[in-house]
Chain A
Amino acid sequence: MNIIFQTWPWYVSGFLIGMIMLSLIYFGKTFGMSSNLRSLCSMTGLGKRVAFFDFDWKAQRWNLIVVLGAMMGGFVAVQFMSDPSNVAINTKTIAQLAQLGIDAPNGKLMPDALFGPAVFNSPKGILILLIGGVLIGFGTRYAGGCTSGHAISGLSNLQIPSLKAVIGFFIGGLIMAYLLFPLIF
């Protein structure tokens, strides 16, 4: 029973993610999560004003169903498959975060300092999440994919454009982690 509650090892998780991508290919589809953001925008009728959203989002409904399933999976995993021993990150990382005033995981997936309920009363906290989201939405549509579409699907198919995008992801990530993050916190 331990396997249900402990952190799943990288080789099991990575293999399953690879199989998820291959299942979607077998269903005649592709694995990519960020394209759902475009579908969600189109559903609100934005297509009448902005050409980019004027496309047949209904043909992408299958992907929104994948999203719905993923949300249910997240709910089940957090509610019924969690354990206080989870998220055992490097102790060096924990010490580093403490210096920035960010709480240690102790089994939590997300730090309260950024995602706790208090964030709704903090203009700075809201702004950080909002700007992070804008960068994610803008960047993934500009690059035409995210971790699933480029890093997993694209690199698995040996696509050079995806390699460029993934290197871009990491350059951006390192700029944030080493240059900007210490300024923000």
Chain B
Amino acid sequence: MKVIKYLLVGFVFGIVLTKSEAVSWYRIYEMFQFQSFHMYGIIMTAIGTGIIGIQLIKRKNLKDIKGFVIEIEDKEEGSARYWIGGLFFGLGWALVGACPGPIFILLGAGFWSVGIVLFGALLGTYLYGVLKDKLPH
């Protein structure tokens, strides 16, 4: 059961992202050209749902599956890492039209060339690991 619930959440995630076409290179291109509301609608509805859910969790002190009160960690303070790191990711996102979730989903769907993107992403992650202490955060 432990494993199955994660597999199931992932499975639904893969189907939703494919059926909403959020995994599609075309949808990301169209989004950055401001020629469709579709992607903005998806992201804003997801955030709206999330805000309501998280406010409910916090105000009602809801418990998680194990019975512990849910506590959501705040993101680390900082600026440089978010602006600069975000900018690097945005460049890649608009070029290959995929963020990390869709990279895996597309590979599963049989788009083998996305394997090159995944290899690059692992290389980029390695690069960050090596340079981490030299970068402003």
Chain A interfacial positions (CB closer than 8 Å to B)? 7-8, 10-28, 30, 33-34, 36-38, 40-41, 46, 50-53, 62-63, 65-79, 81, 86-87, 89-90, 92-93, 96-97, 105, 109-111, 114-117, 119-120, 125-126, 128-148, 150-162, 164-177, 180-181, 184
Q: Give A18 Cβ to nearest chain B Cβ, in Å.
A: 3
Q: Give B134 Cβ to nearest chain A Cβ, in Å.
A: 12
B94 and A177: CB pair below 8 A?
yes
Complex Cα distance, B81 from A162, in Å, reads 11
A27 and B64: CB pair below 8 A?
yes
Given contacts A147-B93, A156-B51, A157-B50, 20 further A-B contacts (CB under 8 A): A10-B41, A17-B46, A21-B46, A62-B6, A71-B10, A109-B18, A109-B23, A128-B96, A132-B98, A133-B118, A136-B124, A139-B86, A139-B89, A140-B85, A140-B125, A142-B128, A142-B135, A143-B81, A164-B86, A177-B29
Complex Cα distance, B25 from A107, in Å, reads 12
Q: B106: which of A63, A68, A74 is its contact (CB, 8 Å)?
A: A74
Complex Cα distance, B95 from A71, in Å, reads 22
B96 to chain A: which residues have CB within 8 Å? 114, 128-129, 132-133, 136
B35 and A92: CB pair below 8 A?
yes
Secondary structure type dominating chain A contacts? helix
A150 to chain B: which residues have CB within 8 Å? 75, 86
Which 5 residue pairs across A and B have the least CB separation, nearest first? A133-B120, A168-B86, A73-B14, A172-B90, A69-B10
A72 to chain B: which residues have CB within 8 Å? 7, 10-11, 14, 108
Complex Cα distance, B84 from A92, in Å, reads 32
Q: A70: which of B14, B43, B75, B116 is its contact (CB, 8 Å)?
A: B14
B35 and A176: CB pair below 8 A?
no
A92 to chain B: which residues have CB within 8 Å? 35
Residues 13-35 of chain B: 1 if any A CB is under 8 Å from the residue's CB, otherwise 0? 11111111111111101101101
B20, B33, B50, B98: residue with the most chain A Cβ atoms closer than 10 Å: B50
Chain B interfacial positions (CB closer than 8 Å to A)? 3, 5-27, 29-30, 32-33, 35-51, 53-54, 57, 64-66, 68, 70, 72-79, 81-101, 103-114, 116-130, 132, 135
B50 and A36: CB pair below 8 A?
no
Nearest opposing residue in chain B for A138, CB measure: B124
A142 and B21: CB pair below 8 A?
no
Complex Cα distance, B74 from A154, in Å, reads 8
B108 and A74: CB pair below 8 A?
yes
B64 and A135: CB pair below 8 A?
no
A172 and B27: CB pair below 8 A?
no
Nearest opposing residue in chain A for B93, CB measure: A173
Nearest opposing residue in chain B for A10, CB measure: B41
10 CB-based A-B contacts, threshold 8 Å: A20-B16, A30-B72, A52-B130, A73-B14, A89-B30, A135-B89, A140-B100, A155-B51, A167-B86, A176-B90
